Amino acid sequence: MCAAIMATKIPDAPKVGMVSLGCPKNLVDSERILTKLRSDGYQMSADYAGADVVLVNTCGFLDSAKEESLEAIGEAIAENGRVIVTGCMGDEADVIRAKFPQVLAVTGAHQYEQVVNAVHDASPPIPNAFVDLVPEGGLKLTPRHYSYLKISEGCNHRCSFCIIPSIRGDLVSRRIDAVLREAEKLVAAGTKELLVISQDTSAYGVDTRHEPRLWKGREVRAHMTDMARELGQLRTAEGRAPWVRLHYVYPYPHVDHVVPLMAEGLLTPYLDIPFQHAAPSVLKAMKRPANEAKVLDRIRKWRDICPDIAIRSSFVVGFPGETEADFQYLLDWLDEAQLDRVGAFRFEPVEGAAANELPGAVPEEVKEERYQRIMEKTAAISAAKLAAKVGRVLPVIIDEVGEPDEEDGSIGATARSQADAPEIDGNVFLRDVGAGLKPGDMIDVCIEDADEHDLYGVPV
């Protein structure tokens, strides 16, 4: 007689839904929280209905972002009812609780432990649950082939339109060995493109006096240049250097030292520098860091060293006190700077920001008119810069591959060049790609056409 086999009933693991709002930095926080919850035995739910509890990771940077956050909380409560709020807006627990008294818990930005504890309270993990292993490199909400790498939290500046330092505090840099280890794991797990983010990437390590740590048997400083050089040494499973993009860089003098690394191929020739304005009086009122007159000369030098460097920036129009002459100065500056990618915003007062008290509020219709003018100017510059790429062969990374065409079986794909960061810049739309192509593949393509924002090409 054979022994009866007792079936072990594995209890279902509790499921967590996540709504992640705001910037890429928030996405990184969401990934960290989910990675921790997964290792505690939780499953993720793709919809409200299947979730035992829903986490809403909010953004509180602008009033419009706060509204969006409140809307998302309202939707999660209506659809599921068991909601925990975290993120930047979590620092305004009173506002959230006044509107939604039924929320289970409210925790602030980067309070990873608190939010994980709140989930444990709301929906306790199953003791000794049979859990899936957390994939190496953590759980990622971004597609597997690119990853955000957060190097610090907080900011030492006090730009007058910004409340981030009051929400997130002063700069706290991560250890350089921890940053490099995370990057190495991400690349080992399939990441082909690392997006370095922080509030102020060029200030990395200022708070720790650039404390060096041992990495691969040598001392490496917590400094943007050292970090960039080390990230450039990583290799994917195919033996290629991953693309490494620097975001939120302020033009401090040492930025000049990373541009040669781009020319050497160790770093992606791309700099995201949020200039915000060009007129000296406006920059002064904004209290912007690294505000100096010679930026145009430096941009020219960067282009001499690395002709393919793409510079992305963002600008605010209608800042209090901005005169027509200031705005015209900005347009003329843009003519000289010939930036590759530009985002423009109309000034919007943020509750608690010093800029709200500044004299010289710009009427809404003037803001709108200036916004239209800057958009026209930057679209024309972008179109001319992209047109100059027609006929060139460029490396691209594949984001998405389409289905074969029903008639002729041809396949298209969406890719990006080194000048395009995911989600914020343009695309390279490809025709007639090979059947085996997949997201994350890096190939060379010939550019056949261009418009204001995107390129069109075919694999070579």
Site residues for ligand SF4 per CB under 6 A = 155, 157-159, 162, 164-165, 199-200, 289
Beta carbon nearer to ligand SF4, 138 or 154: 154
Beta carbon nearer to ligand SF4, 275 or 371: 275
How long is the chain?
460
Single-letter residue type at 144: R
Beta carbon nearer to ligand SF4, 328 or 356: 356
Minimum Å distance from CB 155 to ligand SF4? 3
Minimum Å distance from CB 157 to ligand SF4? 4
- CA-closest candidate to residue 425, choices 276, 314, 261: 314
Minimum Å distance from CB 158 to ligand SF4? 6
Is 2 assigned a ligand-binding role in the annotation?
Answer: no
Beta carbon nearer to ligand SF4, 197 or 445: 197
Number of alpha carbons in the 13 Å side-chain half-sphere of residue 204: 28
How many angstroms separate the CA atoms of 123 and 163, rounded? Answer: 33
How many angstroms separate the CA atoms of 11 and 250, rounded? Answer: 51
Q: Environment class of residue 311 by beta-carbon count within 10 Å: exposed (0-12), middle (13-18) or buried (19+)?
A: buried
Beta carbon nearer to ligand SF4, 162 or 194: 162
Minimum Å distance from CB 88 to ligand SF4? 12
Tokens found for residue 214: 């041992």
- CA-closest candidate to residue 138, choices 201, 94, 87, 191: 191
Is 446 assigned a ligand-binding role in the annotation?
Answer: no
CA 72, 75, 77, 83 torsion-angle sign: negative
Strand partners, 44: 16
Q: DSSP readout, 354-411?
A: GGGG-S-PPPHHHHHHHHHHHHHHHHHHHHHHHHTTTT-EEEEEEEEE-PPPTTT---
Beta carbon nearer to ligand SF4, 316 or 445: 316
Minimum Å distance from CB 426 to ligand SF4? 24
- CA-closest candidate to residue 430, choices 440, 420, 443: 443
Minimum Å distance from CB 168 to ligand SF4? 8
Is 306 assigned a ligand-binding role in the annotation?
Answer: no
Give the distance between the most distant pair of CA atoms in the chain.
96
Is 23 assigned a ligand-binding role in the annotation?
Answer: yes
**Residue ranges at the known binding site:** 23, 59, 88, 155, 159, 162
**Residue ranges at the known binding site for [4Fe-4S] cluster:** 23, 59, 88, 155, 159, 162
